């Protein structure tokens, strides 16, 4: 942990506010993923149940739409307008070049996502790590954008994209965003971040609802 008194918290700065905006989008993505997964793994049982089938079918459809839109928002490149996306946040971080409050957390993040050593700039190392991660999933991110543009935002005739990347990919994209949010809080803003990996109220509520309508042994994890 860095204890240099000249290193100041970035609370209520543009970095902090963009990170809060990112956190809200990532939290929503976690809830949509949980709706999608819980309904998918219990769908054969739900279909055979007389109560609420059409409702749950619509929820399942809308959850997948929201996942596509959420991923696109979180991974959107900042151009003319400032964004709360990962790219917008890291762009601000690189322009500001703040000193880290906690180098250990930065190193752990870089090691987890196979980034470069910190070197002289934590912000630049984080940027390089994000660029590599984004490049690794470039095809999948493109599929999300095409699904958004051709199927969700518009009803293009004879759209070729009929599926989106796997749930595993969706979660990997979620994990990176959630971990980056937590890193910014602990290493630059100061304080304790919300655990977006474990903050899952919608899953808990949906499981209770399925139990209430008579569905037992509700599963929650995609296999």
Reading the chain (223 residues) residue by residue, the pLDDT tens digits are: 344 434 455 666 899 999 999 999 999 999 999 999 999 999 999 988 878 889 999 999 899 999 999 999 999 999 888 999 999 999 999 999 999 988 999 999 999 999 999 988 999 999 999 999 999 999 999 999 988 888 777 655 444 446 689 999 999 999 999 999 999 999 999 889 999 999 999 999 999 999 999 998 999 988 7
pLDDT of res. 52: 86
The DSSP symbol for 190 reads: -
Beta-sheet strands, E only, within the chain = none
Residue 18, classed as helix, strand or coil, is helix
The confidence score (pLDDT) of residue 156 equals 52
CA-closest candidate to residue 173, choices 151, 146, 144, 202 = 144
Helix (H) or strand (E) holding 19: helix 14-41
Find out whether 106 and 122 touch, Cβ atoms under 8 Å: yes
Please say whether the beta carbons of 18 and 89 come within 8 A. Answer: yes
Which phi and psi angles does 68 have, rounded to 5°? Answer: -60, -50
pLDDT for residue 12: 65
CB atoms within 10 A of CB 94: 14
Residue 191's region, left for phi above 0, alpha for psi from -120 to 50, else beta, is: left
Q: Is 192 left (phi over 0), alpha (psi -120 to 50) or beta?
A: beta
What is the predicted pLDDT for the residue at 81? 86
Residues 6 or more apart from 177 whose CB is under 8 A from it? 22, 25, 26, 29, 74, 75, 86
Cα gap 218→50, rounded to integer Å? 17
pLDDT at 9: 59
- Retrieve residue 214's tokens: 């008579």
- Per the listing, tokens 């994890």 go with 221
pLDDT reported for residue 162: 60
Q: Domain segments of the chain: what residues?
A: 14-212
Residues 170-179: b if buried by 16+ CB within 10 A, e if exposed: bbbbbbbbbb
């Amino acid at each position: 942990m860095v204890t240099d008194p000249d290193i100041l918290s970035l609370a209520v700065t543009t970095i902090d506010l963009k990170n809060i905006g990112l956190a809200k989008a990532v939290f929503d993505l976690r809830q949509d993923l949980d709706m999608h997964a819980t309904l998918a793994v219990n769908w054969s049982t739900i279909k055979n149940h007389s109560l609420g089938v059409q409702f749950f079918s619509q929820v399942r459809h809308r959850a997948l739409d929201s996942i596509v839109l959420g991923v696109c928002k979180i991974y959107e490149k900042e151009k003319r307008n400032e964004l709360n996306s990962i790219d917008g946040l890291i762009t601000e971080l690189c322009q500001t070049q703040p000193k880290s409050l906690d180098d250990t957390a930065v190193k752990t993040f870089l090691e987890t996502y196979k980034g470069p050593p910190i070197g002289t700039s934590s912000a630049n190392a984080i940027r390089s790590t994000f660029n590599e991660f984004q490049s690794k999933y470039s095809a999948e991110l493109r599929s999300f954008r095409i699904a958004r543009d051709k199927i969700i935002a518009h009803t293009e005739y004879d759209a070729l994209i009929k599926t989106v990347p796997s749930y595993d990919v969706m979660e990997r994209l979620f994990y990176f965003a959630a971990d980056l949010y937590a890193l910014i809080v602990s290493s630059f803003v100061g304080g304790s971040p919300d655990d977006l990996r474990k903050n899952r109220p919608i899953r808990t509520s949906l499981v209770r609802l399925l139990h209430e309508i008579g569905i037992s042994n509700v599963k929650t994890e995609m296999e």
